[in-house]
Amino acid sequence: MSSSLITGGRLIDPSCGRDEITDVLILDGKVAVIGPAVADSVPEGVERIDASGLVVCPGLIDIHVHFREPGQTENETIKTGAAAAMRGGFTTVVCMPNTSPVIDTPGTVVLIQEKAAKEAKIDVLLTGAITKGIEGKELAPIGSLKQAGVVAITDDGRCVQDNEIMRRALEYAGMFDLPIMDHCQDYSAVTDGVIHEGYWSSVLGLDGWPAVGEELIVSRNILLAELTGTPIHCQHISAAGSVRLIREAKTRGIPISGEACPHHFTLTDAAIAGSEAFWKEDGGSLFKKAGIDCPQLPEWPAFHTHFKMNPPLRSLSDRQTVLEGVLDGTLEILSSDHAPHCGYQKDVEFSVAPFGITGLETELALSLMQLHHSHGMELIELIRRFTITPAKLLHLEGKGSLQVGMKGDVTLFDPDEQWVYTVDQSDSMSTNSPFLGWPLKGRNRRTIHSGRTVWSHNSD
């Protein structure tokens, strides 16, 4: 069934500034009518959904996920990754190219597109690599990748170190009006770092990863965006200096943008020293400010590899600055960097474990908890960072809005529901989340793609 009537919900659509209690009728996969009297003239056979007490918004978009297929299906598949996305409220996801083989040829693009069309109930879009094999040495066939259907190019998982190659990539991307995204990491500064360089790297005896390793590439990207006029989107910003650089560049009209991940504005590097160290630093404010009833704080041991990600968790001041960057619009997009790894890969020493955590199923709740409940961000602004802003960045026509004629992708969530994230609340193949056992506030209740319910809490 690709037709639905959603009644009694609080419709919030940042694309047109709408925020009201009203009804939405979706017919044949597209928004047909919006208004309080819609229910009086609905054709037979339309699914009726009571959204009383829920927020109704355009289907959420995550522009930064890793579904691991092809080549790494012991961690995740397109089918299971899409299932995790639906549970989290996402109707569109954008996969990174660091699969095996790398998405650097039109043939690989078509292979994954065909797989996604068969096994995913939502839109699984692809990025192509900037360079062949994401090795940073030779440009991939950017024009051919665009023609094959990629929505952006990035070497995510790695970072183009050669400034000349990055400049040429920007020039080509500009010719094809293809967005370019960059994983900001200067290898010569980061070296073998596995944890933020600071107090805890010294105490724990782990190789430090200085914030300047990110800030150097953000600076490079600002200069190249100014030189070429081609926009650059900086992925998963974690460092305070990066936020300040992007904020200043925007005031000068430079086409630069940035995204933030919930783990970077929720956790700090103290978490790697164990729960006792983290809660001593945080003071339990994560739950107190959000109004969450938490009689016992979550516990975990030191060196837990579920707290190892790239870029790493940083200091308390970095966390605060990233939060401020999201709140003031410097970092205008939210994403998960969903990076699943199976148990045997993560169940090793911290220094040799792979980077990455899952995030699609907790992303909305953590964002509501930190941005809305704790720091007062209006829901329309939070939803903007998940909908129309990423849609505009990647030129996703028909997405990010619920105006009449647009695609009937809808997310229905309860911004106030308290729940605990556990393994049985996950559809991902992997469980490498630092938030297992955490009480959260805000929860997706139903995901609708092209007018069809693809996931609901009642069917869980």
Check residue 242 and report its DSSP letter.
Answer: H
Residue with tokens 């209006």: 378
Phi and psi at 33, nearest 5°, equal: -145, 145
What is the pairing mode between strands 152-153 and 123-128? parallel
- Residue among 96, 85, 89 at smallest CA distance from 125: 96
45 vs 65: CA distance, rounded Å: 35
Check residue 138 and report its DSSP letter.
Answer: S
Give the catalytic positions in this structure.
337
Residue with tokens 């360089």: 197
E strand residue ranges, 236-386 = 256-260, 333-334
30 vs 450: CA distance, rounded Å: 6
Angle between helices 106-119 and 78-88 (to 10 degrees): 60
Contact 325, 331 (CB under 8 A): yes
Identify the burial level of 205 via C-beta atoms within 10 angstroms of its C-beta, where 0-12 means exposed, 13-18 middle and 19 or more buried. exposed
Please, what's the b/e burial string for 206-231 (b: 16 or more CB within 10 A of its CB; e: otherwise)? bebbbbbbbbbbbbbbbebbbebebb
Residue with tokens 């003071």: 283
437 vs 195: CA distance, rounded Å: 23
